[in-house]
A and B are shown apart, each in its own frame.
Chain A
Amino acid sequence: MLLTVKDLTKKFNHKIVVNNINLSINQGDLVAFLGPNGAGKSTTINMLTGIIPPTTGIIKLDGLQPSSTQYHQKIGVVFQNSVLDNELTVKENLLSRQKMYRNSVDKLDDWIDKFALQSILNQKYGVLSGGQKRRVDIVRALIHDPELLFLDEPTTGLDIQTRKLIWKVLSDLRKETKLTIVLTTHYLEEAELADFVYVIDHGQVIAADTVNNLKQNFAQDVLTIYPSDMMKISQILSDYKYQIDGQQVAIFVQQYQAIDLLNKLKPVINSFEYRRGNMDDIFLNLTGKGVE
C-alpha cells in the first residue's frame, strides 16, 4: 500500500466538509475521486498533499507524514486553479520551480516534448489558453519526478484533443514509471480509465469500487426501444435483463452486445435510443436522489 488514509475529517468553522474518509491506494494505480460540486474532493486532495491540516485522521505515504519534506518530494500536485506566475513565460516558470527542488531530475526537455510545449515556451503563462495552461501545470507537477501525482479536475473545460493528449502521456508515464495517480472528476467517462473509484458525496465515501463493478451495480448502459410488435419482443429478449414501461422497453445491455441485439430487433421496432450509464445514475441509485 502506497498511501493509507484513516478516518480523515475536516471541519471549517464546525461545518463538516470531509467526513471520516478511509482510503488505501496501491502503487501504480490510477484512482479517481468522483463527486459533484462541493462534495469535498479538493479539500481531501489538499489534506493529502499536506497543504491544509486535517481536523482529525491519519495520512501515511510510505510511512511518511504530509508535514515532512520527504513527503513533498514524493508527490506532485496539479491544482484545480492555475498556480503559476502569469507574468513569467512558460520556460521561466518551469525553470524557477525546478530550482526550488533540491534533487530535481533533468527530464524537463523530455516533458516539454511530450506535452507539446515547445511552441509556447516563450509565451507568458498568463496569456495561454486553458488547455495550454493545464499542460504546463502538469509538467510543473512532474518536475521533480514524483511517485504520486494528484490531479484536481485535470481536464475540466478542455477540448477533446487536449484531453486525449493528456491522457495519452499520463498512461504512457504509468507504464514507464509505475507512477501512481489520484485524480478528481465529475465525469464517469473519465473515471472509466481508473483502476479504482471512490464516489464522494457530502464529504463521505458512498461507494468504493472498480468502475466495472460500479457501472454494473449502479449505472448500467441502457438501450431503450420503441417496439412495433410487443408480442415478438419478449421472445427475442428472453436472455436479457429488461423493463417494460408503457410503449417503451429498457434493456440493460453493454454497447457491443447492443449492436447484435439491435440487428435481431430491427424488424419489430420503430426506433431506439442508447444511453451510457453516467454519474447521475450512480448517485441516483446510491443516494436515492440525483446530483443536486
Chain B
Amino acid sequence: MKGLITRNLRLFFASKSGIFFSLMGALISFVLYLVFLKQMMTQNWQSVPDSKNLLDLWLMGGTLTVTAITTTGNALGLMVKDRESNRLADLILTDQSYLKIHSAYLLSAWLVGIIMQLAMYLIMQAYFMIQDGIGFESSILLPLLVVMIFSSLIWSVFNMLLFSFVKKVDTLGKISTIIGTASGFFAGVYMPIGNLPNFAKWLMKLTPVPYDSAIFRQVMMKNQLNDSFKNAPTEIITKFKTEMGIVIGQNFNNDLKFMGLALVILAILVIILYRYNQRVVVNKV
C-alpha cells in the first residue's frame, strides 16, 4: 500500500501544470477578491473596526475549501486515468488487492488535499501579512490543521463517489471544470452567501460546501471577530456572521455536525458502490 500511495503522490506532484490547474479555482477566488471584492466589501462593513483584516481571513477560509475540493478531485482523477489506460490491470496483477488499490487512491487524495491546503494557506497568509499587515496567530494552527485534515477527507470521499461513474478521461476533464467553477460559488467566495437570493442559499445549504467554509472561517476569524466586535451588540455580530457565511446552521457545533453527517453518508455510498466499481473496472479491460 505504501508503494501505491508513493506512486500516486509522485504522479500528482510530477505534473506542474496539473498542480496549477487544480489550484485554478482557488487562485481565481483569491485574485477576484484582491481585484474588486475586497474593496466592495470593506465599504459595506465600514463601521466594523479592522474590517480589512477580518475580510482577509474570511477570504482565506473560503479559498481553502475550494482548494480542498479541486485538489482532491485532481488527485482522484488518477483513478479514472488508470482505468482507461489499463494501468489498473497492471496494478491488479501485483500483490496489492483491489481494496488496497482503491483505498490508496483515497488516501493519496487525502494527503494531496492536506498538503495543497497548507501550501495555499501559507501563500495567502504571507501575502496578507505583507500587504495588509495581518498578524500570524500560532494558536489557530493546530485547530486549522485539524479542519484541513477533515475537509480534505470529506472532499476525497465526495470525489471518489463522483468519479465512480466516470469511465473516460475526457468526461473527467469536463466534470473538473464544472466542479472548479461551481465550488467557488458554493463556498461563498465569489460572493457572500447573504447577498444571494433565497433559492440559491437553500441550494447551497444542501451541500457540505458552505459548512466547510464556515468551519474554516470560524476557526480562523475567531480572535479577530472578538477584537472587531468587542463592543458591538449581539444582533450585529449575528448579522455579520450569517451574511458572510461564517455560521450556516445557527452555531459552530451544528455546522460541524452537518459536516460529520455528510461524511458518513458519502462514505456509506462509496462502500455500497465499491463492488459495482470493481466489476465495471475489471470487466472493461
Measured CB to CB, the residues of A under 8 A from B are 46, 49-53, 69, 72-73, 75, 77, 79, 81, 83-85, 87-88, 92, 96-102, 140, 144
Binary contact track B228-257/A, C-beta < 8 Å → 1, others 0: 000000000000000000000000000000
Measured CB to CB, the residues of B under 8 A from A are 2-4, 6-7, 10-11, 14-15, 85-87, 89-97, 282-283, 285
Selected from A50, A52, A73, A88, the residue in CB contact (under 8 A) with B283 is A52
Do the beta carbons of A99 and B2 come within 8 Å of each other?
yes
8 contacts between A and B (CB under 8 A): A52-B285, A53-B283, A85-B11, A85-B87, A87-B14, A100-B3, A101-B95, A102-B95
User: Which residue of chain A lies nearest to B283 when distances are taken between CB atoms in the complex?
Assistant: A52
Residues of A within 8 A of B11 (CB): 85, 87-88
Residues of B within 8 A of A96 (CB): 3, 6-7, 10
Q: How far does the alpha carbon of A98 sit from the alpha carbon of B283 in the complex, in Å?
A: 25
Residues of A within 8 A of B91 (CB): 100
Do the beta carbons of A51 and B7 come within 8 Å of each other?
no
Q: If the complex has contacts A87-B15, A99-B3, are A51 and B95 also in contact, measured as CB distance less than 8 A?
A: no
Do the beta carbons of A83 and B14 come within 8 Å of each other?
no
Q: What does DSSP make chain B's interface, helix, strand, loop or mixed? A: helix
User: Which residue of chain B lies nearest to A49 when distances are taken between CB atoms in the complex?
Assistant: B93
Most buried by B among A46, A53, A72, A85: A85
Tell me the smallest distance from the CB of B242 to a CB of chain A, in Å: 46
Q: How far does the alpha carbon of A87 sit from the alpha carbon of B18 in the complex, in Å?
A: 12
Which 9 residue pairs spanning A and B have beta carbons closest together? A99-B3, A100-B94, A83-B90, A87-B14, A96-B7, A102-B95, A100-B3, A51-B89, A83-B87
User: Which residue of chain A lies nearest to B94 when distances are taken between CB atoms in the complex?
Assistant: A100
User: Which residue of chain B lies nearest to A97 when distances are taken between CB atoms in the complex?
Assistant: B94
Most buried by B among A51, A69, A77, A92: A51
User: Which residue of chain A lies nearest to B279 when distances are taken between CB atoms in the complex?
Assistant: A53
Q: If the complex has contacts A100-B95, A101-B94, are A85 and B7 also in contact, measured as CB distance less than 8 A?
A: yes
Tell me the smallest distance from the CB of B18 to a CB of chain A, in Å: 9
Tell me the smallest distance from the CB of B265 to a CB of chain A, in Å: 32
Do the beta carbons of A88 and B14 come within 8 Å of each other?
yes
Residues of A within 8 A of B283 (CB): 52-53
Q: How far does the alpha carbon of A37 sit from the alpha carbon of B10 in the complex, in Å?
A: 37
Do the beta carbons of B95 and A69 come within 8 Å of each other?
yes
Do the beta carbons of B95 and A46 come within 8 Å of each other?
no
Tell me the smallest distance from the CB of B187 to a CB of chain A, in Å: 30
Do the beta carbons of B14 and A51 come within 8 Å of each other?
no
Q: How far does the alpha carbon of A286 sit from the alpha carbon of B3 in the complex, in Å?
A: 49
Do the beta carbons of B89 and A73 come within 8 Å of each other?
no
Residues of A within 8 A of B10 (CB): 87-88, 92, 96
Q: How far does the alpha carbon of A72 sit from the alpha carbon of B90 in the complex, in Å?
A: 11
User: Which residue of chain A lies nearest to B89 when distances are taken between CB atoms in the complex?
Assistant: A51
Do the beta carbons of B95 and A73 come within 8 Å of each other?
yes
Residues of B within 8 A of A50 (CB): 93
User: Which residue of chain A lies nearest to B7 when distances are taken between CB atoms in the complex?
Assistant: A96
Q: If the complex has contacts A52-B283, A99-B6, are A77 and B93 also in contact, measured as CB distance less than 8 A?
A: yes
Selected from A51, A102, A144, the residue in CB contact (under 8 A) with B92 is A51
Q: How far does the alpha carbon of A84 sit from the alpha carbon of B7 in the complex, in Å?
A: 11
Most buried by B among A97, A98, A99: A99
Tell me the smallest distance from the CB of B32 to a CB of chain A, in Å: 31
Residues of A within 8 A of B94 (CB): 72, 97, 100-101, 144
Residues of A within 8 A of B6 (CB): 96, 99
Tell me the smallest distance from the CB of A80 to a CB of chain B, in Å: 9
User: Which residue of chain B lies nearest to A43 when distances are taken between CB atoms in the complex?
Assistant: B285
Residues of A within 8 A of B14 (CB): 87-88
Residues of B within 8 A of A79 (CB): 86, 89-90
